[in-house]
Structure 1
Amino acid sequence: MKQLSLCLLILLAVSLTTSAAYEKVKPKLELQEIQEFIGQWKGVGQLKRGSTQGGWIEESHWEWKFTKQDSALVYESPKGKFVKELRVSFEDGVYVARGVNADGKKIELRGKRDDSGKLVLTNAEMTLPSRISFRTVAAGKRMVVSFERKLSAALYTRLGEVGATRKGSMFGKGVQEVVCIVSGGKGTMPVTFEGKTYYVCCTGCRDYFNENAAEIVAEYRMKQLKN
């Protein structure tokens, strides 16, 4: 009986440890679901879909940011018509985006990905935009960003939309893309360790690699052996 109780205690301890470990990495795993956003983008903004009147050119970029406390994806568009920057984290089961709008006011939006994979973020305050959605098309080579104003509890109207292309995208058939050794996203920047070249997807992953290269490469090699 004592042995059975001891076994149950051990199983409980292992279960709790596993659960705690998963909760620690869960935010990063959820952010990896939208890491296709990472990269530099340039496109055309429209106030009304299909009309060039009032149109503008907008550039933006997404990258990883790692700290000892958490991980986040950062969106920056210095000349953005509606939003200048957002820091997207995953908290309490939802994506949380905190940043600054075009008027320099602080904003906070929360939301989830819908069934199509589009990230929809809603602002509970009166500041604009009331809702932002991000989605990629054309195998991740194009991104559509929609900005909306809230009219009522369930009704929104368009502020504008930006259709952007990832810089450096190649649309030809058979194009092979390398993988970021840190996040598993699309590798675009070379880094080296012990004379060998690897790739990362953004400056955030580059900095993290440079600080933890031995550990990251060892983990990468273990995965390669398993495959």
Structure 2
Amino acid sequence: MNSAAAAFLTLTLWLCTCRTVLSSDEQPQHSALAVQRAATVQRIGRPGELVGNWRTVLQARRGSGNGANAEAVTGTWQFRDSDAALVLKFRPGSRLQQIRITAAAMPSEGLRLALQEGEQELSLVAVQPAHADAATERAEWIFETADDAVKSRRLTVRRLSDIRWTMLLEERAAGGADWRRMFEVGMTRDGERLAVAGVGEKKCVVTGGRGTIAVQHEGKTWYVCCEGCRQVFEDDPAGILKNYQAGLEQEQRRVEGEDRR
């Protein structure tokens, strides 16, 4: 072997070694990110069920078809570093264009919501916790703008079932005390019937939500709930599945503990 070939072989082996070391160093970082993202998703909580496609009707007056509009809503997770956001996009967006729900840095601060209304984005915060926890069939979240906001808005999000939600948007005049209804959005998950809600559904390995998109790893098929979760899974499938399996084992231990009581 001449000197040039020997030098090339040495360089190739060095690059392979560096790649292996970097890959092993990156794995804990990916796993840590997955844990942080999962914690943020957990803090956002049950509204995460809104991921997916929804048929909606926007009504200015309850029970009246006057001024009602049909909207298609798509809910997805968006991930950036350790942060997670639940984004709902309305089409054609006759009154609302987008809702973005995030968790504050401190768990005690509750959830935050950005409301895209026309060309203006309004910031709202949760003013009270859900009336029901994750174990019950109903829950409610109320978000309001700050007292000094140019436009006063209150958005009440209600969960009726895993495939039925409503959102009521209200406004308040400057200096006023009473809230006035603007419109309500009734949401039904696309392609679902009420009688079969939740039967045999697959779980997203990233968030634990409803799995609708198949992904592959080492010859096995898993499921995620949206394109954001697909990207996170493809970035670190081993880390995501490790955390998912750990969550399943933790839930199994919890169930077994309750059975012994």
TM-score range for the pair, normalised by the shorter chain length: 0.7 to 0.9
Distance 1:179 1:75 in 2: 20
Q: Summarize the alignment of residues 103-142 of structure 1 with structure 2, pairs less than 5 Å apart.
A: 104-111=119-126, 112-116=128-132, 117-124=139-146, 125-127=149-151, 130-137=153-160, 139-142=161-164
Distance 2:214 2:243 in 1: 18
Q: Summarize the alignment of residues 16-165 of structure 1 with structure 2, pairs less than 5 Å apart.
A: 26-91=39-104, 92=106, 93-102=109-118, 104-111=119-126, 112-116=128-132, 117-124=139-146, 125-127=149-151, 130-137=153-160, 139-151=161-173, 154-165=177-188
Distance 1:27 1:143 in 2: 22
SS at match of 2:236: helix
Q: Tell me which protein shows more helix as a share of its residues.
A: 2
Distance 2:188 2:72 in 1: 10
Which whole-Å deviations, capped at 9, do the CAs of 1:181-220 have from their partners, x for residues lacking one? 1101111111111111111111111111111111112233
Distance 1:191 1:146 in 2: 36
Q: Which residue of 1 aligns with 2:193?
A: 170
CA RMSD across the alignment = 2.4
Structure whose CA Rg is larger: 2
Using the TM superposition, give the Cα deviation of residue 154 of structure 1 relative to its aligned residue in structure 2, in angstroms: 4.0
SS at match of 2:235: helix
One-letter code aligned to 1:157: R
Change (3 A) 1:198 1:26: closer
One-letter code aligned to 1:27: T
Change (3 A) 1:40 1:24: closer
Distance 2:233 2:65 in 1: 43
Q: Which residue of 2 aligns with 1:201?
A: 225
Asked whether the equivalents of residues 214 and 221 of structure 2 are also in contact (C-alpha less than 8 Å), the reply is yes
Distance 2:39 2:241 in 1: 22
- Give the number of aligned pairs: 203
Q: Summarize the alignment of residues 174-193 of structure 1 with structure 2, pairs less than 5 Å apart.
A: 175-193=199-217
Identity percentage of aligned residues: 28
Give the gaps of 5 or more residues in structure 2: 1-34, 133-138, 253-261
* TM-score (normalised: structure 1): 0.80
Moved segments of 4+, more than 6 Å: 22-25
Using the TM superposition, give the Cα deviation of residue 146 of structure 1 relative to its aligned residue in structure 2, in angstroms: 0.9
Which whole-Å deviations, capped at 9, do the CAs of 1:110-136 have from their partners, x for residues lacking one? 1144314212111222236x1112222
